[in-house]
C-alpha cells in the first residue's frame, strides 16, 4: 500500500478561500486568523535534564554546599486516595491515645504499648494526641526551651525501630481531629 499525497489547492481555489476567510466571523475572538501557507516547523520536545548528584565529603552537613538539590515532595507510602481522605479528616480514627501532660519517660512506653495493641487488633488508622505544647512566660533564661517536646518527639519515635515494622505513615492531623497537636498514624496490615 502506498500513502496518498494530500491535494494542493490551485491558485484560483486558494484566492477564493482567502476571500471566504476574510468575510467569515470567528466564533471566538481569541483565535488568530489562519494563514494557509504558514506552517510551524515540528520540533521534538527537549529532554529533561538528568539529576546529577553533587559531590560531598563524609561528615558534611546536608545543604552546606553552594548548590542544593531541589527538595522532593513527600510521596506517601500508602494508597494516595486514602492518604488524601486522611489528610482532609474524612477518615475516622479507629483508636486514639492522649499524651497530654506526660513526660517523655511516661509517654514513650505508653505509645509503644498502644501502637502494638492496636496493630494486633487489626486497626489501621489511629490518632496520637500530643498537644501543641505551651510557652512559659517565666522561661526567659539564657537557653530558652522550645515548646511542644512531645509534638517534636512522637513522630521520631514512630519512624524508628521497633515501630517502623508496624507504622506505614505518620502525618499531622486535620483540624477536626486536633490539628497541630495530633498525628494520624496509619498502621500496616497485621499478618
On the question of a cis peptide bond just before residue 153, with omega within 30 degrees of 0, the verdict is: no
**Is a pLDDT exceeding 80 seen at residue 137?**
no
Q: Residue 114 domain-assigned?
A: yes
Cα 145 to Cα 184: distance, rounded to the nearest angstrom: 26
Alpha-carbon distance of 115 to 168, in angstroms, equals 12
User: What pLDDT digit, counting tens, does each position of 146-176 carry?
Assistant: 678 888 899 999 988 888 889 888 888 888 8
Q: How far apart are CA 102 and CA 112, in angstroms?
A: 14
Q: Which of 35-39, 95-99, 137-141, 164-168 has the highest mean pLDDT?
A: 95-99
For residues 156 and 80, what is the distance between their CA atoms, to the nearest angstrom?
23
Instruction: Of 187, 181, 170, give the one whose Cα is nearest residue 87.
Output: 170
* pLDDT (mean) for 83-108: 86
| Domain assignment present for 161 | yes
DSSP H/E element including 168: strand 167-172
Domain coverage including residue 160: 94-133+147-187
Residue 100's CATH number = 3.30.1370.110
**171 in any annotated domain:** yes
Of the pLDDT bands very low, low, confident and very high (cuts 50, 70, 90), residue 145 is low
- Secondary structure (3-state) at 154: helix
Residue 115 lies in a domain: yes
Helix locations, the chain, DSSP H: 11-23, 80-87, 104-120, 149-158
Query: Could you read off the pLDDT of 10-69 as tens digits, one per residue?
Result: 889 889 888 888 888 777 666 556 665 555 556 667 777 777 777 777 766 665 544 444
Q: Is the pLDDT of residue 111 over 90?
A: yes
Residues facing residue 126 across a β-bridge: 95, 185
How many domains are there within the chain? 1
Amino acid at each position: 500500500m502506498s500513502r496518498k499525497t494530500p491535494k494542493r489547492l490551485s491558485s484560483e481555489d486558494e484566492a477564493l478561500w482567502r476571500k471566504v476567510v476574510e468575510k467569515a466571523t470567528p466564533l471566538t475572538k481569541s483565535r488568530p486568523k489562519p494563514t494557509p501557507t504558514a506552517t510551524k516547523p515540528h520540533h521534538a520536545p527537549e529532554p529533561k535534564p538528568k539529576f546529577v548528584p553533587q559531590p560531598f565529603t563524609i561528615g558534611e552537613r546536608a545543604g552546606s554546599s553552594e548548590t542544593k538539590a531541589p527538595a522532593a515532595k513527600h510521596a506517601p507510602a500508602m494508597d494516595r486516595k486514602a492518604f488524601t481522605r486522611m489528610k482532609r479528616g474524612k477518615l475516622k480514627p479507629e483508636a486514639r491515645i492522649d499524651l497530654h501532660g506526660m513526660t517523655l519517660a511516661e509517654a514513650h512506653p505508653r505509645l509503644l504499648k498502644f501502637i502494638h495493641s492496636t496493630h494486633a487488633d487489626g486497626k489501621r488508622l489511629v490518632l496520637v494526641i500530643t498537644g501543641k505544647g505551651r510557652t512559659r512566660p517565666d522561661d526567659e533564661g539564657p537557653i530558652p526551651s522550645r515548646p511542644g517536646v512531645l509534638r517534636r518527639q512522637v513522630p521520631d519515635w514512630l519512624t524508628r525501630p521497633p515501630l517502623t515494622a508496624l507504622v506505614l505513615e505518620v502525618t499531622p492531623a486535620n483540624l477536626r481531629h486536633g490539628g497541630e497537636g495530633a498525628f494520624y498514624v496509619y498502621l500496616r496490615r497485621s499478618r
